[in-house]
Amino acid sequence: MTSPLSLSSGRAFGDKWKFNNEAENEGEASAEERPSKRVFAESAGPAGAGSGAGADEVLPTRCEIVAKKTNVAGSRAIVRLAEFFAGVGGIGKGFKDAAAELGIDLEVCYVNEYNSAAADTYELNASDEATCTLHLIESPDFSEKVKKGVKTIQGLDSTLLKYAQYIKKITLDRESVKPLVDRRDVTTIEMKTDPLVPSDIDIIVAGLPCQDFSYAGKKAGIAGDRGSLYKCFASTLKEKQPKYFLVENVQGILNHGGETKIKPAFEEAGYQVSIHLIVFADYGVPQLRRRVLFIGIRNDLSSKVKFAMPRPTHGREKTGLTPYVTAGEALKSVSDYVFNSVTPVVKKQSCLEELKTVREGARAPGVDGQEGRKFRRISSKLPFKTIIGTNHASGALHHWSEPRPLSDRESAIAQTLESFAFCGTKHEVGLQIGNAVPPLGIKPVAKVLLELFIKSLE
């Protein structure tokens, strides 16, 4: 696939497009003049006993120490993040939210996503300036066939709710946004010399394609076209040498060389690598989604910092943790959303009859001789089961009380992508949502890595 970016356009991914979207207008204070907002700005207050400081003296914050050592006193740390196999940007959003909470200025210096619809979705949601066009089906309530110039911030705009059940498709208004995503096949990019891929990257994150490792897929493993892409990522690590990396994939990767082939490949690139199983519901995501994380720390930093998974914040009853967020709780406000909110309709009478026999939280075998088809109703009293890309096909999750599959918006809420608008056909949108990484679930892991980044500068 050809990149939408022209090398002669003068725009590079290194341009300072920041997740915090701060204005950089003329006359605004420069980075050197702005006060520090970096992480760990914990003023010590009056010095403790034995410090030798006066009662009114304030010890320097960790960020001030780091700033002095890096010769940028008074400025904020900029963590440069690159996203490979970015999808719609779930991992990146998790890092954005973590950085905002810690007071770290985070710059996305490069994004790669080969799938055009997912890349459109990324650009639509990553830029405050991006707009989209709503393609509408015929309605007695309005005459428009398209509504242009809509921003994602209008996803809860009550004046647009009349369109919600009539939006056939959403497309990115490409002229409204600078190209943020490199859409080339990552295997065709020469990482060492390509002018679009920056060299000074602090953290690289990737949601490696999971189809060859998924229990629901063909299980081709690392021999598959997609499963073998870990080699390309390992080469990228070797060339770019970021300080840290994070890779997300399905649990099935551990049955296909995750520990024996993939982890060693990342280690050979110069990293101390650890593998972690994460249940996203444990961190406030309303979904029992189990995934594997590969966390890498560059060898020269591994003696300074150690990664440890954050403690779960949520759990089942009587665990002493905050109770899991249930599907019922998560969907309380679903009717307020405009984009990707069309309620699915089951037209086949035999399927409707079968659904009537399935109680909340249960499943039923196939009907009409369709071997392997299952109806699974979610429970309103528990987190969602794992959202998959085929949201209207075999194995689709259905509403706990209504005779229908989940809508795209309901699935997006389960993935903590409630604010996102998704571009593409119904099938493309389903795949984007099912393949995404829940930002809320990645956020606590991102916080740990960002804190390690600051610590490694000391």
> Where do runs of H (alpha helix) occur along 183-337?
229-240, 263-268, 327-330
Number of H helices, E strands in the chain: 10, 14
Query: What's the rounded Cα separation, in Å, for the pair 339 and 158?
Result: 12
Q: Is 277 helix (H, G, I), strand (E, B) or coil?
A: strand
Lookup: tokens for 395:
């194995």
DSSP state of 202: S
User: Residue 120 — φ and ψ, nearest 5°?
Assistant: -60, -45
Query: What's the rounded Cα separation, in Å, for the pair 78 and 105?
Result: 5
Q: Which of 292, 306, 237 is nearest to 266 (CA)?
A: 237
Residue 6: how many other CB atoms lie within 10 Å: 9
**β-strand partners of 147:** 134
Residue 210 annotated as catalytic: yes
The catalytically annotated residue of 63, 109, 132, 210 is 210
110-130 as b/e: b if 16+ CB within 10 A? bbbbbbbbbbbbbbbbbbeeb
DSSP state of 325: P
Q: How far is CA 260 from CA 183, 254, 256, in A?
A: 31, 9, 9
Task: Give first-to-last CA distance, the chain, whole Å.
Answer: 42
Q: Which residues are designated catalytic? A: 210
